[in-house]
Each structure stands twice: as structure tokens, then as C-alpha cells.
Structure 1
Amino acid sequence: MVASDGARVLVASNRGPVSYSLREDGTLESRRGGGGLVSGLSAIGPDTDAVWVCAALGEGDRAAVLRTPERSGRLAAEDTGDQRVRMLDIPADTFASAYNGIANSVLWFVHHLLFQTPLEPVFDEDFREQWAAYVAYNSAFADALAEEAGEGAAVLVQDYHLTLVPQLLRSRRPDLRIGHFSHTPWAPPEYFRLLPDDVAAEVLTGVLGADRAAFLTRRWAEAFAACCSDVLGATVSRDDGVLTVTYQGRTTRIGVHGLGADADFLRERAHRPDVEERLAVLREAVGGPDRKVIVRVDRTELSKNIVRGLLSYAQLLRDRPEWQGRVVHVAFAYPSRTDLAIYREYTDEVSDLAEEINEEFGTPGWEPVILHVKDDFARSLAAYRLADVALVNPIRDGMNLVAKEIPVVTDDGVALVLSREAGAYEELGDDAFVVNPYDILATARALHQALSVSHGERAEATKRLAAAATALPPHQWFLDQLRALD
């Protein structure tokens, strides 16, 4: 049934634009987030009826849903920046199995090619129970979107958490225009087929329920189409540069939208007083204007390759002792998915390795690695401004916005050392020092080359990097997808 006041534009994502925490006195504190989707929804204008459907992620969010009128999950406008947001209170055990058990421990690992295949994955009865929860979680989103959408509305479904939603929603509301966007890489067929055959098919047919499936790079789009051909026997066509997949009588158009950095926001935010304060602290910690600074800013996700980055830096100091005392590696490794043991162990390994490097090479006046593991956006921006070299060496990454943000924010130009496995490589590779993320020796050489480049060369490369990095800012990225559904 279509609501008479149904929305014209809908966004669905696991995480919404607002989160809640419970204070000690039982009251709720709301915190609004940023990112491309927030910018995008703002870009369509206040006169466009829009709704964002998301999941309650924790105790504070669940309490907020319970306090909404009729427990509808429709959040107060003063908490959401006047956006219409519906937060779904999916049962906690269902959410945990879907989010941690399937989305983050199976689908994310498949797309990032991270399984240790002699031992994992293991698809047993526990997996099947978790898969049933993932189906239920996607169904809850499909139900809510069907209720909230007006006739013929446009729905933009986000990421690997919600791969089944397009097909589930189409079965409920065939009048809707549906898009799905993948923010991760997409695995090639030979790796995607690690999944049980029926699950692999269900993921693909779920996405193919959309009128349009979009990706961050052409490489990931081609991998998805290849999986559809290999697993489903779907027909893949390329006509006048348009990639399509036809399966069971329906055709899904495939698109590419390389999300860029929000230059106006970043440049303004990077010069606020809190950033200036942190910049002064970092400069003092580095220990003098003559020292070069290598910066990395990541979450401690297994794909970010932080350990090999530190090993490469240590190799640089061994191979090129002239850099000892003359360079500092500022490494921010912010905790991620701490409810999973493997992520906690990885964070510990990063901290231990940084300490070992400091013990091996450090002197009373020089700390080779400055490591921070507590999230601080203002401090990250300060590091962006300070960087002489940016190290972005993921094993595999859908895009990696850090590679795009640092050239936009840097005070004095930056040399970018970039993994060829980052999605950003397609746009930035020509002006970066490109590395195989597994090759420690080659990455150490690239760091030396980046540190040694002349100021003039670095400045010219930074201009080109910044131009490429901002070619499709978040609001335009969102609007392009919306227009493509027409």
C-alpha cells in the first residue's frame, strides 16, 4: 500500500545520519554524522520529500526508537537536522548475526579477498542461521521502504549490508525506481564463488532487483558483471559504453560514480581553532621544521594494510640510514569493529610494531613513529596539513577517500604513495608513487622517492591530484545517481 504522503526520494543504509547515546540520567544525546549521503540529501533541496531509512546500531539508538510516537522509529527533526529519518529497531540478535556474522565477517571478507582459505570460510549450520538473520534484516528494510515510498519514488540502497533489498523491495513495490550502490570492491568470480552457490546467486539476484547497480570504479563494476555471467548465466552487454546485465527477463544498468572529496568543507574545517591547536602539538612532537613527515590515517580494518606500512617504514630506515633522525611517521590507526576479536588483535599488532620500531631506531631527540589509536577528526586534518608524504597502501579498497582528502588539505603539497589496489588508483595513479601493497621493499623505495622529490614537482603533482580528487564531490555524486534512475 502506498502512503498518501509517501517520500519521493529514499535512502537506505545500515548507519543513518544520527546516532544516540544514553546519559547516566537516562536522557538521550544525539550526534549527527557527515559523509557523502548527508551532503547528497542536502543537495536535493528542502522541498523534495525525502526519507532516510537506517538501523538502530546500539542501546542508545534502540532507546531513541522506543521513545518515538507509536514506536514508529520516525526521529525528531531537531535531532536529524530537519531530515526525515526512520530508524529500524531490528531485534538485537538478528542485527548482530546479520551485521557481524554475514555482512562484516563474510561478504566484506569476500570482496576484499581476505580469507585465509586453508582454514576459512566454513559454511556450516551456524552460517545458515546467520544467513537467515541477514535475510530477515534485509526484509525489514524492504518493508519499511515500501511503507515510506510514494508512487514511483526513487530509492537508493547502500552497500553490502543491504544486497538483498532491491529484489525484496521490487516484489513489494514494482512501481519504484531502485538503485543499489556498492562502496566496497566487488570480488572476481573465482573468489566470489567461495560463497555457497545458493547464497552467491541470492546476493547477485538481490542487487539485480535494482534498475541500476553502481560502483566506485569501472574495475568493480566489471567484476560484478562477470560474477553475474559466471554464477547466474546472465547476459552481459556493452552498448555505446553502457554496461548492462540481463537476467530472467529484467535488465539492470551498471554505473560508475567515483566519489570525490568535499573540498569546500575540508578546507574550511581544516583551519578551525581545534585543528590549529592539534597542528601545533603535532609539530612539536615531530621535533622541528627540517624533519619530513609521512602521514597515514586509517581505521584498523584488515584491508588497510597498516602493519605492512609500518614494516615498509622500518625498511626505509634500514636501507636509507640517511633518513634516520630526519623523518617521522605520523600514523593514525583508529579502532574499527571492536566487537570482533580479529580486529582487536590487529589493533594490538599495529601498536606493538610501532613500539618495536621506536625501540630499534629512536633516539632521545627523535621518535620515529607517532601512533594514535583514538579517533580524532581534527587531529587527522592537522596531520593532512602537515604531511610531506601520504602513505595509502591498502590490500584492497573500494575507493579510499584519505588518498583524495590529503592533497586537498595539505599546506605545502604532498607526495602520494598509493596502492594499485585502491579504487582511487584509477583517478590518482598517474601522479602518485604506485606500489604493490604486499611488497615491503618496493614500498620502502617508493617512500624514499616520495621524500626525495623536489618541492616544485610535489606542488605540481598536488594540484593535479586535488583536481582529480574533487571531480565528483559528494553532493554531485548523489545527484548523478538520482538522475541516472530517470
Structure 2
Amino acid sequence: MAPTQAASVLVASNRGPISYDVREDGSLHAKRGGGGLVSGLSAIGPETGALWVCSALGDGDREAVRRGVGEQGVRMLDIDADVHADAYNGIANSALWFVHHMLYQTPLEPVFDAEFRRQWASYETYNRAFAEALAEEAAPGAAVLVQDYHLTLVPRMLRELRPDLRIGHFSHTPWAPPDYFRLLPDDIAAQVLGGILGADRAAFLTQRWADAFTECCHAVLGPGIPSGTRIGVHGLGADADFLRERSHRPDVAERMAELREQIGTTADGKPRQAIVRVDRTELSKNIVRGLLAYRELLTDRPEWRERVVHVAFAYPSRQDLAVYRDYMAEVERLAEEINSQYGTPGWTPVLLNMKDDFARSLASYRLADVALVNPIRDGMNLVAKEMPVVSDDGCVLVLSREAGAYEELGEDAITVNPYDVSGTARALHEALTMPLDERAERTKRLAAAATALPPAQWFLDQLNALDS
């Protein structure tokens, strides 16, 4: 449902703040999402005339659009389902995501053939639908904040339609270095960069990703490329107030009791230590190497057997892509193998759960002794920031140097090379043996750094920067 008046602040993203399901009786059920953008828009207040433009993602969303059901401040675009599938799965998640996270097995992939070009045409169509909707809804001189790799072409398209607008683009992923970015066909690489350079300001989660973008522009488009685009950095932080309040509700307490029982105690009655990870089963999260490192810890340091449990929450992600289904199966297989190899009647070495449960995630944050965050590559990784904020007694953060969060948290974490399984095993041992007073002090500093730019302020800073 579009607002009746032109909007002065607009946000564009693939996923919106609300989604719909069709129930058995034919009625529509609305479910609200969360995250930094939701917090940000609520921070600027309803009087600003803000509008969120997003895509209908499923049958329920499309039915809501067809019935004219919606809420003030949200416009959902019913883009053809096949076009959306090509743009979202074919290009955004299977090409741009893989490039920026450097995930390709290059002897075999990528293959940029006629089918890729067909999907790229859908990506252009998808981006144009957003640009046209934004141009239609925006008040003169409005501020438009375009989000992420799904919509890299929108700023340039929108600039051509509405040169009066103030346009920002924010990248939530890492940005690939030039040599890897140039796996993309030359014209496509130029189109992606040129699309973002249609914005007045392009912003990133860390200085490293911002510098990589600039280097790609010089490598692909030539040095000193004429553009008025300014580059910015906004390191999205954890929402401390929300997390601390939500993590002390009764449902979290119930799950903490369940987890403590599952983790159990040692032979002398002491609680076992918990190494906790909470991730989507996303290729870049490096869950398999984390399990391999834990297995190596148990192999090389048998004193940890029956004294530690790896609590691994690996929630489904992009299960419509075969490579993700295969990865999830490998996570499950390896966890079962470790439990079979080392488990005893009173000790399950790996507690693996693959059913998404936010309350249980928060419960694990509170009781973690060690937080394992070892992505191959990550734009930020909010789990690394959330765990120290929620932790009851302090936790040691074992953190990949390839996570964006490393830029802010690295000094008080134990840093690992995400590919070095033996090094990660040694880091886990160091974390498990860290004195409690040092652990508590590090956790305080981590929590302070993690909450330096909470979501509402992160959003407002981007908005204010467009006025600079």
C-alpha cells in the first residue's frame, strides 16, 4: 500500500520490513522483520514521510500486493517471479555474492555464458523496477538510501530518472579486491561499479571494503574516473538495549535451562565449558572448518574430552540452491562423525541444531565460554558483536581476521586465519584456558566497541551524510 503523498526519505532493499503468508482460510498473516534498517526508520519518526520500497518475495507477498493489502510507509513491488528468481538467485546470490566473498572454485567456476547473460537481463529489469518506483514516490530533493548487492544498478538508473534526488548506496557485504572482482565480464564489472557511482555517496561497513571498491573503480574504469560520488564508512553495531532486554525474557531462560542440561557437567560435577557458534548455514561462514578445528582440539588435547561441548547452531540458508543444500548436509555429516568418534554415554561433543530459534540463540550467547566466529569472509558479522553484549559471565571471542568486525574487535579477540584449522584449534585451547578475570575484562571492551554505532544511529549517520 503506497502512501498518499510523496516521500522525503526512501529506503530500497530486496527484503522489506514485513512479509505475508496465506492461511488455510485464505486470510493473510503479516509478520514483521527486524534489523538495522527497521530500527533506523523507526528512529526518524513517522512525520518524515518515509517510505520503504521492497520486493514481494513469496506467494503471500504477491497476494498481498494483488489484494492491495499493506501498511503505511511500505511499497512492495510485485516483480515477475521468474525475473526475481533470475536476479536474486542467478545473479545476486550466485555471482555477486560469490565474487565479494571469494567463494568460487575457479578451476570449474564461474562460467559466464549465454544463460548468465539472460539472467543478467533479469537483474537489469529487477533493478529498473526499483528505480522507477523510487522515482515515482520521491518528493523533490528527497533522500534515497539503496541497500546492498541486489540493487547495484539502481543509483545510476534513478539518477537518470530523477537528477534532483540525493542518493546513497550501502554495501552490507565485503567488497572484492580488483583481481577477484575482475572475474566478472569486463562490461558487467563496469556496469556494477558505474551503477553504484550514480549515487552521491557509496558507503561500506569497513574501511577495507571501501578501499577495495575504490581500487576496483580505478582498475576497471580507469584512474581519476569522473564521478561526484563520495565514499563513506559506517560500522553497524549491535543494538545493546534490545538484546539485553530480549535475552532476559522467560522463553530465553527456559532455553538456557535446556541447554545447560544438554551440555551437562564433568565427572567432578563442574559445568562443562561451551564453545558456541550461531550462524546461517552460509558457505562463507566456514562452519565445516570450525568443526574440523574442534575435532583437532579433541584429538590433540584429549584432556578436553568430556570437559567441553561445541554448541553449533547452523540455521538453513538459501536452500533453493543445490550448493547450499550440499553444504548443510556436510555440516550435519561432520557433526555426527565427531559425536560418533568421541561421544560417550554422558557426553555429546557437538550439539548441532539446524532449526532457527532466536530465543535459543540468545540463550547460547548468555552461557557461552567461547564464541567461535571464523568466517572465510564477512561484511561485518553481528554475532561477533552480539555475544559479548549478551554474555552473562564473559566469553572469549575467537575471531576470523576476514570478518569486517575484526577492524573494531580484533584487539580484544583471539584472531585466526579462517583457513588454518590447526591454528583455530590452538586458538580454541587458548580461549578455553584464559583466566576468568582477563576474559571478563576483554568482554567489557568488546561490548563497548560492539555497540559504538547502534542500528538507529548507523541509519541516521548515512542519512545525515547525504546532507553534508
| TM-score (norm: length of structure 2) | 0.98
One-letter amino acid of the structure 2 residue matched with residue 270 of structure 1? S
Deviations 1:415-472 (A, max 9, x none): 0000000000000000000000000100000000000001100000000000000000
Secondary structure of the 1:251 match is: coil
1:243 matched to which residue of 2? none
**2: CA distance, partners of 1:22 / 1:5:** 29
Q: Is 2:216 the partner of 1:270? A: no
2:399 matched to which residue of 1? 418
1:238 matched to which residue of 2? none
One-letter amino acid of the structure 2 residue matched with residue 371 of structure 1? L
**1: CA distance, partners of 2:90 / 2:290:** 29
**1: CA distance, partners of 2:445 / 2:81:** 47
Alignment of 1:67-466 (within 5 A): 67-68=67-68, 75-77=69-71, 83-235=72-224, 247-248=225-226, 250-288=227-265, 289-466=270-447
Q: Is 2:61 the partner of 1:61? A: yes
**2: CA distance, partners of 1:76 / 1:107:** 31
2:50 matched to which residue of 1? 50
One-letter amino acid of the structure 1 residue matched with residue 230 of structure 2? R
**2: CA distance, partners of 1:459 / 1:413:** 5
Conserved? CA contact 2:396–2:431, under 8 Å: yes
Conserved? CA contact 2:169–2:196, under 8 Å: yes
**2: CA distance, partners of 1:462 / 1:412:** 9
Cα deviation, residue 119, structure 1:
0.4
One-letter amino acid of the structure 2 residue matched with residue 268 of structure 1? E
Secondary structure of the 2:389 match is: helix
2:21 matched to which residue of 1? 21
Deviations 1:166-213 (A, max 9, x none): 000000000000000000000000000000000000000000000000
**2: CA distance, partners of 1:112 / 1:48:** 36
**2: CA distance, partners of 1:251 / 1:482:** 17
**2: CA distance, partners of 1:43 / 1:407:** 25
Secondary structure of the 1:255 match is: strand
1:8 matched to which residue of 2? 8
Deviations 1:147-181 (A, max 9, x none): 11000000000000000000000000000000000
Greater CA drift, 324-333 or 83-92: 83-92
One-letter amino acid of the structure 2 residue matched with residue 470 of structure 1? T
Secondary structure of the 2:48 match is: coil
Identity %: 75
One-letter amino acid of the structure 2 residue matched with residue 215 of structure 1? F
Secondary structure of the 2:74 match is: strand
Cα deviation, residue 401, structure 1:
0.1
Deviations 1:244-275 (A, max 9, x none): xxx34x31100000000000000000011111
| TM-score (norm: length of structure 1) | 0.94
Which runs of structure 1 show a deviation greater than 3 angstroms over 4 or more consecutive aligned residues?
none
CA spacing shift, 1:462–1:452, aligned 2, 3 Å: same
Secondary structure of the 2:160 match is: helix
Cα deviation, residue 5, structure 1:
2.4
Number of aligned residues = 461
Secondary structure of the 2:51 match is: strand
Deviations 1:25-50 (A, max 9, x none): 21111100000000000000121110
Conserved? CA contact 2:11–2:53, under 8 Å: yes
Unmatched 5+ stretches in structure 2: none
Secondary structure of the 2:236 match is: coil
Instruction: Pick from 458, 473, 476 the counterpart of residue 454 of structure 2.
Output: 473
Cα deviation, residue 4, structure 1:
8.7
Secondary structure of the 1:294 match is: strand
Unmatched 5+ stretches in structure 1: 69-74, 78-82, 236-246
Deviations 1:73-125 (A, max 9, x none): xx533xxxxx5100000001100000000000000000000011100000111
**2: CA distance, partners of 1:23 / 1:4:** 29
**2: CA distance, partners of 1:230 / 1:4:** 45
